[in-house]
Homo-oligomer: A and B are copies of this chain.
Amino acid sequence: METVSVNTAFGGVQGVYTHASAETATAMTFSVFVPEHEAGAKLPVLWYLSGLTCTHANVTEKGEFRRACAEHGVIFVAPDTSPRGDDVPDDEGYDFGKGAGFYVDATEAPWSANFRMRAYIETELPAVIAAHFPADMARQGITGHSMGGHGALTIALRDPARFRSVSAFAPIVSPLSCPWGEKALTGYIGPDKAAWRAYDACALIEDGARLPDLLVDQGTADGFLEGQLKTHLLEEACARAGQPATIRMQEGYDHSYYFISSFMADHVGWHAERLKA
C-alpha cells in the first residue's frame, strides 16, 4: 500500500492510498479517514460505496462526513467504483465499464478479467484496511449512494453477519427492474436473470435475506427516482417480507452531494449507535 496524500482534518487524518489489487489486476485507489484516537485503540469502520462516474474523491471532498466521524470515533473508508487504467476495457456510456463496476464479479468477457468489485470490496480491501489501519473489523457498517447504495444493500444482505449497520442514499434498489441494471448486469454476468438475484436488494429480501434494520434517504426531486431508483420497490419488498426498514422521502432533494452531505451526519450517527452498542 502506498500513500498518495494525507491531510489533517477535524483532528484526524484524511488519507488517500493506492495498492496493487489481485482481484482487479490493477492499481486501486481508496480513501480512509481515521479520527483522533488513543494509542492502541481500534475504531469501528464505516464503508461508503460511491455511485456511477465517481471515484473515492467525490465523497472525500464533498461528503461532509469527517465532523460526524470525528465526533463518533468512526473510520470512514471510500473505495473506487471500478478498476482503472488503459488496459481495462470500457464502454462509451457513463453507466457501464470504468466508473460503473456495480459491485459485481463479472463473468462475461472482456469484463471478467478486471471487473471483480464484489470480491474486491468483500474480501481484498477489508484485509488491507485491517492490516494498515486501527480498525476493529468486528464492528463494520456499510452505506453508499445510488449504484453504491445498491452495493451496500446487496453486500450486506448476502453477508449480514459482517455488518452491524446498513444504510443507503438514493440507492438503486433493483437492477432487475431498471435500465441501469439491465445494461450492467447483462454486460457483466450475462442474460440469465436467475444469476442477477444475488445482485438485487429486492430479490435478496424476497429470497429470504434479512438485516436487523436499514436506513434509506431518498430525495423527492431526484431525477433518477422514477426511471431508475424506484424506491417504492424496496418499500414493498420490505413490507411483504417483514424486513424492518426506515425509508425516508426527503422533500425537494436531488441526487447530488448537496443531498448526501445534508443527511451524512444522520447516517454516521445511525451507524455509530449500532457500531458502538
> Which residues of chain B are near A64, meaning CB under 8 Å?
64, 67, 261
| A223-254 to B contact mask, C-beta < 8 Å, 1/0 | 00000000000000000000000000000111
Residue A265 interfacial (CB < 8 Å): yes
> Which residues of chain B are near A265, meaning CB under 8 Å?
67
Residue A113 interfacial (CB < 8 Å): no
Nearest residue, chain B, Cβ from A10: B262
Check if B67 sits within 8 Å of A9, measured CB to CB: no
Residue A276 interfacial (CB < 8 Å): no
Check if B259 sits within 8 Å of A8, measured CB to CB: yes
Complexed CA–CA distance, A253 and B252 (Å): 36
Residue A29 interfacial (CB < 8 Å): no
- Stoichiometry, copies per complex: 2
> Which residues of chain B are near A9, meaning CB under 8 Å?
258-259, 261-262
Check if B61 sits within 8 Å of A8, measured CB to CB: no
Check if A8 sits within 8 Å of B67, measured CB to CB: no
Complexed CA–CA distance, A61 and B262 (Å): 12
Interface size on A, residues (CB 8 A): 23
Residue A143 interfacial (CB < 8 Å): no
The smallest C-beta distance from A70 to any residue of chain B, in angstroms, reads: 9
Across the interface, A7 reaches (CB within 8 A) one of B10, B11, B66, B254, namely B254
Residue A149 interfacial (CB < 8 Å): no
Nearest residue, chain B, Cβ from A33: B258
> Which residues of chain B are near A7, meaning CB under 8 Å?
254, 256, 258-259
**Given A8-B252, A8-B253, A221-B8, A14–B66 Cβ distance below 8 Å?**
no
Instruction: Tell me the chain A residues, 95-142 only, with Cβ under 8 Å from chain B.
Output: none
Complexed CA–CA distance, A257 and B8 (Å): 10
Instruction: Tell me the chain A residues, 197-223 only, with Cβ under 8 Å from chain B.
Output: 219, 221
Residue A62 interfacial (CB < 8 Å): yes
| A1-24 to B contact mask, C-beta < 8 Å, 1/0 | 000000111110010000000000
| Given A9-B258, A9-B262, A11-B262, 20 more pairs with CB closer than 8 A | A7-B254, A7-B258, A7-B259, A8-B219, A8-B221, A8-B252, A8-B253, A8-B258, A10-B261, A10-B262, A14-B258, A61-B61, A61-B62, A62-B62, A64-B64, A64-B67, A64-B261, A66-B261, A67-B67, A67-B265
**Sample (6) of A-B pairs whose CB atoms are under 8 Å apart:** A7-B258, A8-B219, A8-B253, A8-B262, A66-B261, A67-B265
